[in-house]
Structure formats: structure tokens, C-alpha cells
Structure 1
């Protein structure tokens, strides 16, 4: 069993007005097979947590630890974290002109696993995955995310998740910008990867609609850089009905 244990994490980010502390003591434990949803108002630090765990250089670790099976990933480079089993699906996937999807996927798989996948079996696996995401095989020869719609970009993010098979997946507002059909397809991909690999999932979202497809075991309310409340799936329903005023006013 894999465990990600976040201990008293404080993180700052550089702004035009100098360094600003965003995370103010986050404590959270995620185990294999668990799905944790983090919800909260804009500016509460949800995406900061995601990027700090993934190793974005803009985010400075002031103190605290993030232990993946006892190893502090915060001391690793971003590529080392990926090889250790951490995956980030970005809220705004970037375009990579000049790099085809097929080359990108195989290069990423090789980097994470430490060896290149066998070509014939890899091509079959990629095609089957693309079929699952309703993506035409022609996408494999397009440049990564260049000219892709918002829904196509998110499908490619979760396609990577399914192919790379990480231990822990951090999904940063994967539902943003998706219509109903794309949301269902992307959610099905997350569920397939989660079930096939007994993967731990940290799902960041504003809304409960994705939680109708991806059922969380735990829901955490993020306010002002820390966890203000936590509970089971019923907490998401209460947030949908009542909003965050009770936490903001407190």
C-alpha cells in the first residue's frame, strides 16, 4: 500500500508585492485506493497545494513535509517526483508546439518507468486508451494541445494518467471547462485508472458535479490556506446547498 502523508505544510509564492504565504499548515493523508476531494472558494490555496506537491519552482516550501512511503518528495526535483509515482493533471494544460502526442506519451512513459515500452504493445495500448476517450487516432500525430479544445486537452491529461499508472494522482480542477459529455468521459477515465492501479486520488474541484461520477471517500474544505472541515461524501452535498459562508465568516 502506498501512502502520501502531508505534514504541517506551509508554502509561499512570489507576487509583485513580494513573497506571500498561501498554505498555512496543511495536514492530509491519502492511501492507495482512496479518493479525497478538496473543495473551497477561489484563492483558498487548493491549486497551490497541487503545484507545490508536483514541484513547480514558483512555489516555495517554507516548512513541512510530504512523505510518499516515508520519502519526502519536497526534497526531490519535479521529474524525480514523477518517477516516484506522483502525477499532476493541470487545470490549464500547456501547448507544446513541435512535439507530437505519440512522441510525448512514449517519452513520458520511458522517463517514468526507466525503460522504453515495447513498441508493438505500446501502440496497441495507446490506441485502446484513445478509443476509450473518444479520441480519433489522428490526435496521436498532432502537436501536444496545439489547437485542442478545452475538452480535448482534459481528455489528453487523463489519457496520460491512464497510461503512466502513477501511485498518486493530483487532479487540479479537471472538470473546469467541460461540457456534460466530456465530463463523463474524463471521469470514466479517472475511475478506470483508479480501479486498475489501486491509485490514490487527490481531486480538487469547486463543484459537486464531477463528484457524481467520481465518488470520493473523503471531502475536505479548504479555506485560507488550510483544511477547515472534513467528512464523507455528504459534506459535498452540504457545501452545494449552503456554500462556504459559514467557514468564511468564522
Structure 2
């Protein structure tokens, strides 16, 4: 059965201010959706609400995954059922090696522990695909990483965790063209019938490398227009003012 996330009339507050104001969206496995919009439209709020960040209070509507309301699930439980968030600003975790972090995360989302040999084989294979030196294995999570390295590590996590629905919050932010191509190639390598992707972005440049099936425009806490890949081209030429 194809997994899907269904967002129905979602309202979310942050510090008492309503950011999402009745948002509707459905993303299924095998689909790639691009969510675009100006700063302040609520795109990142949606990402964090899906992931279960405690600062983002759902005050109305529902987020359903495989028909089950996830609002009462912890972030860990959401990851276990197959939801994944690649953050716009990945955080550093001093004292925790990348290898230990990934192994703990992988085992936490599976019914049984992945054998060490198999884990390392998979990990090194995905790192090679993302052009990450194996020296990263001994480094602490995101500590001293460049912007591009942090974003590649997010995609590495996605590759290892094998989610069913992945939300990528401005994965292209701060990337030069070479890093953008590597990250995009990593996402494209993982795309397929078992993965649904919600790609949140301001700009169309990443969509030159990751072809979306659907494009949504967000403004003032709602999705105000939906179309195909050509909608992104319209936004590139005309901007967001028409939706203000």
C-alpha cells in the first residue's frame, strides 16, 4: 500500500502567533512536490509541524500519515513510521560522532539492529555517492562542517534511514553550484516508488536538477496555487507579488 501524508485544514501557532491558516496538502510515496513561496509564508513552519517540533502548536486541522493522526506522536515516533525532515539549518552535536549518530538513528527506526558490517557497507556506499570523504566518520555531527557538508549529511541521513516521506526544508540554501549538483544527485538517486518528497524552496534553481511532479505556491499560511513543473518557471519570471 502506498503511504501518504495528508494535511487537512492545518492551523499552527508559534509563540501565540498563527502562521498556518488552514493549509491542505497531500504527498504520496513516489511523488515529488515542490513547495515555493516568499519569506514568511509559513513553509518552514509546515516542515517543523510535520516533524513534531514542540514550539509549533497545532491548533486546528490534522496531519495524517497512512490515515493515522500523528499530532500526538513524538518526533522519534514519527521517524519510526517513516517521516523524515532535512533541516534548513542543521545543528551541531558536539561529542557525538557521525558514525554513532547514524547507527543509533538507523537502529531506532528498524525492528532489529542492522549488523555492523552491513551498516558500514551501506554507509560508505552512500558517502561515496555524495562525495564525502570517509574521514567524516570520525567527526562530530555537523561540528566544523561547511554549509554544503551539512546539507550532504542531511541527505546521507535520508539515505540510511530510508523514510517513506521526506521533507527537505530549503536544502539548496547556501549551496554553491557544485554542492547543489551533488545534493540534487543524492536526492534523485533515492527517489522512486518507495519515497515521497516535499521539497521546500524559495528559488527554482534546485528544480533544474530535481524535477517535481507538482508545484505548490504558499502565501500567508495557505497554499494558494498548484500546478505542474511549468508553474515554477512562471514564478521565476513573474515572482510572488501576484500572490501577496
TM-score over 0.5 for the pair: yes
SS at match of 2:224: strand
Q: In the TM superposition, what are the counterparts of 1:143-182 in structure 2 within 5 Å?
A: 143-182=140-179
8 Å contact kept, 1:89–1:171: yes
> Structure 2: how far apart are the matches of 1:114 and 1:174?
29
Residue in 2 that maps onto 1:133 = 130
1:28 equivalent to 2:25? Answer yes
CA distance in 2, matches of 1:121, 1:83: 20
Matches of 1:167 and 1:120 in 2, distance apart? 24
The question of whether the paired residues in 2 share the 8 Å contact of 1:162 and 1:192 is answered with no
- Note the 1:80-229 alignment, pairs <5 A: 80-195=77-192, 198-229=194-225
In 1, distance between residues paired with 2:187 and 2:70?
23
CA contact 1:89–1:158 (8 Å) conserved in 2 = yes
Residue equivalent to 2:67: 70
**Displacement of 1:49 after TM fit?**
0.1
Taking the aligned partners of 2:227 and 2:175, their CA distance within structure 1 comes to 27
Residue 114 of structure 1: CA displacement?
A: 3.4
TM-score w.r.t. length of structure 2: 0.98
- Quote the Cα distance in structure 2 between the aligned partners of 1:115 and 1:180: 39
Secondary structure of the corresponding residue to residue 121 of structure 1: helix
Q: State how far apart, in whole Å, the 2-side matches of 1:245 and 1:123 are.
A: 49
User: How far apart are 1:193 and its partner, in Å?
Assistant: 1.3
Cα distance in 1 for residues equivalent to 2:163 and 2:144: 27
Distance of 1:67 and 1:73 partners within structure 2:
6
TM superposition outliers: structure 1 runs of 4+ over 2 Å = none
Q: Residue 44 of structure 1 aligns with which residue?
A: 41
How far does residue 115 in structure 1 lie from its aligned partner after superposition?
A: 2.3
SS of the counterpart of 1:75? coil
Provide the aligned C-alpha RMSD in A: 0.7
**For 1:33-84, what per-residue CA distance to the aligned partner results, in whole angstroms no more than 9, with x for missing partners?**
0001000000000000000000000000001111111111112111100001
> Does residue 230 of the first structure (1) align with residue 226 of the second (2)?
yes
- Give the SS at the match of 1:8: strand
**How many residues are treated as equivalent by the alignment?**
243
Shift of 1:224: 0.2
